[in-house]
A and B are shown apart, each in its own frame.
Chain A
Amino acid sequence: MRLSVDNLACRRSGRRIFANLSFALGPGDALAVTGRNGAGKSSLLAILSGRLRPDAGRIDVADVGEASLPECLHAVGHRDGLKSSLTAGENLLFAQRLLGAPRLSPHDALERLGLGHAHDLPVAYLSAGQRRRVALARLLVCARPLWLLDEPTAALDTASQAVLAELMADHRDGGGLVIAATHQALGLADAAELRIEAAAAAPVEDVQEEWA
């Protein structure tokens, strides 16, 4: 798939977060979104995943048939979408049935992330890093071309970070796209970097009329 974003702007509760963001990605491309805390990295991912409406600008998707943008992406972020009282396997099986396009079985996906033993454990019993790995295993149970990762290495140990880097490389070799918001090096080879600067945000002049 191809994704192009043109002059995107975001406003949250009347405050302009960023403006004039443009980038384009083709098959196999990766984009690392960086910037200080609160610069709008997560907001950008929320707009791409359809949870937030952009204030201005346009997002175009090509080569995906009739699917809409939210239907061709996986989002892994702070809210992991896992139910604590269900086992890791049940969570992944549900995601697979809900999202469609099955690829690996939940067991194989967990095995790939080194969590095969957790298949029948309720997610509530897992540590923060293990929970994050279960959420990442969702990337493997359904085939979707775009991965939106928000701080994917948070709570992960070095071994799991290496596995994640491998998964992203495999995904890109297969023509997939990766957009990751991060503070750390993710091991994304030749990834473009998009830095959301505070300076990119337009001076806030029209706050008052928003509330008027």
Chain B
Amino acid sequence: MIRAVLALIARDLRLSGRVGGSGALSLVFFLMIVALVPFALGPDLNLLSRIGPAILWLAAVLATLIGLDRLFQADEEDGSLDLMTAAPVPLELVVLGKVTAHWLTTGLPLALAAPLFGLLVALDGTAMGATALTLLAGTPALSFIGAVGAALTASIRRGGLILAVLVLPLMIPTLIFGVSAAQAASGGTVPFLVPLAVLAALTLIAAVVGTLAAAAALRWPE
């Protein structure tokens, strides 16, 4: 059973690197948004470093949406999803495997690249580390929440926009605690660990609820 899920993750990672996969695209999109902000706000370094974590988090939320609409749709269209329902593995584990692969190709690279991109918004060392840590803890929640929308829109053509409208409001709590944790690290009344713990809890809740809900949405009869 574990072997089947590992095979699924390996296949999705391989697909994202091939032609038509979204591979490094979300990372480039993340960089674009972060790079645009200083142009829009002007070279006010104090302002930039104050809102820097918020910009990185907003960019991460938007970059997560890249490739999310194809998460289940691509498999639904070519019949791979039928193959997965015929596997001796519960659909929940299939969803878990696919979301893990999605996070490994979007959330994880974003979190790792965040310190570097923090330079563009004039973050200091502490804030860079804190933002990267909060992204590492929070982006899985974004992937799991997104998976529910992806499963609901799997059989709708051009479902990308509906998907964004469906899942963005659900990502708000993650965004709030992600940004407040990142800002708490560079001074403030709240200790860093409190919002970070809430963020980690949100990720765990999203992992359970998102997996079950996405699998239920995929099972929904025509």
Q: Mark B1-39, 1 if CB is under 8 A from A, else 0.
A: 001101110010011001111000000000000000000
Q: Which residue of A lies closest to B97 (CB)?
A: A98
Q: Which residue of B lies closest to A70 (CB)?
A: B86
Question: Is chain B's binding surface mostly helix, strand, loop or mixed?
Answer: helix
Task: Select which of B19, B20, B82 is within 8 A of A81 by beta carbon.
Answer: B82
B221 CB within 8 Å of chain A: yes
Give the complex CA separation of A84 and B74 in angstroms. Answer: 11
Give the complex CA separation of A99 and B4 in angstroms. Answer: 7
Task: Select which of A77, A83, A124 is within 8 A of B11 by beta carbon.
Answer: A83
Q: Are A82 and B88 in contact (CB under 8 A)?
A: no
Q: Which residue of B lies closest to A123 (CB)?
A: B78
B165 contact set on A, CB distance < 8 A = none
A-B contacts besides A81-B83, A124-B19, 20 pairs, CB < 8 Å: A12-B222, A49-B86, A51-B82, A70-B85, A70-B86, A71-B86, A71-B87, A73-B86, A79-B82, A84-B20, A85-B20, A94-B7, A94-B11, A95-B83, A97-B3, A98-B4, A98-B83, A98-B89, A99-B86, A99-B88
Q: Are B8 and A98 in contact (CB under 8 A)?
A: yes
Task: Select which of A74, A80, A86 is within 8 A of B15 by beta carbon.
Answer: A86
Give the complex CA separation of A77 and B85 in angstroms. Answer: 15
Binding site for A on B (CB under 8 A): 3-4, 6-8, 11, 14-15, 18-21, 77-80, 82-89, 221-222
Q: Which residue of A lies closest to B81 (CB)?
A: A81
A-B pairs with beta carbons under 8 Å apart, 16 shown: A12-B222, A49-B85, A49-B86, A50-B85, A50-B86, A51-B85, A52-B222, A53-B221, A71-B86, A83-B15, A83-B78, A85-B15, A85-B20, A90-B14, A98-B83, A99-B86
Give the complex CA separation of A198 and B222 in angstroms. Answer: 22
Query: B1 to nearest A CB, angstroms?
Result: 9
Query: A196 to nearest B CB, angstroms?
Result: 19
Give the complex CA separation of A70 and B88 in angstroms. Answer: 9
A100 CB within 8 Å of chain B: yes
Q: Are B82 and A75 in contact (CB under 8 A)?
A: yes
Query: B167 to nearest A CB, angstroms?
Result: 25
Query: A38 to nearest B CB, angstroms?
Result: 16
Query: A87 to nearest B CB, angstroms?
Result: 10
Binding site for B on A (CB under 8 A): 12-13, 49-53, 67, 70-71, 73-75, 77-86, 90, 94-95, 97-100, 124
A85 contact set on B, CB distance < 8 A = 15, 18-21
Give the complex CA separation of A39 and B19 in angstroms. Answer: 39
Question: Is chain A's binding surface mostly helix, strand, loop or mixed?
Answer: loop
Query: A108 to nearest B CB, angstroms?
Result: 19
Task: Select which of B7, B79, B85 is within 8 A of A97 by beta carbon.
Answer: B7
B14 contact set on A, CB distance < 8 A = 86, 90
Query: A78 to nearest B CB, angstroms?
Result: 8
Q: Are A82 and B86 in contact (CB under 8 A)?
A: no
Interface centre among A49, A77, A99, A124 (most CB of B within 10 A): A99
Query: A93 to nearest B CB, angstroms?
Result: 8
B15 contact set on A, CB distance < 8 A = 83, 85-86
B7 contact set on A, CB distance < 8 A = 94, 97-98
Q: Are B88 and A100 in contact (CB under 8 A)?
A: yes
Task: Select which of B6, B77, B84, B221 is within 8 A of A52 by beta carbon.
Answer: B221
Q: Which residue of A lies closest to B21 (CB)?
A: A85
Q: Which residue of A lies closest to B7 (CB)?
A: A97
Q: Are B79 and A79 in contact (CB under 8 A)?
A: yes
Query: A137 to nearest B CB, angstroms?
Result: 14
Give the complex CA separation of A78 and B77 in angstroms. Answer: 11
Query: A100 to nearest B CB, angstroms?
Result: 6
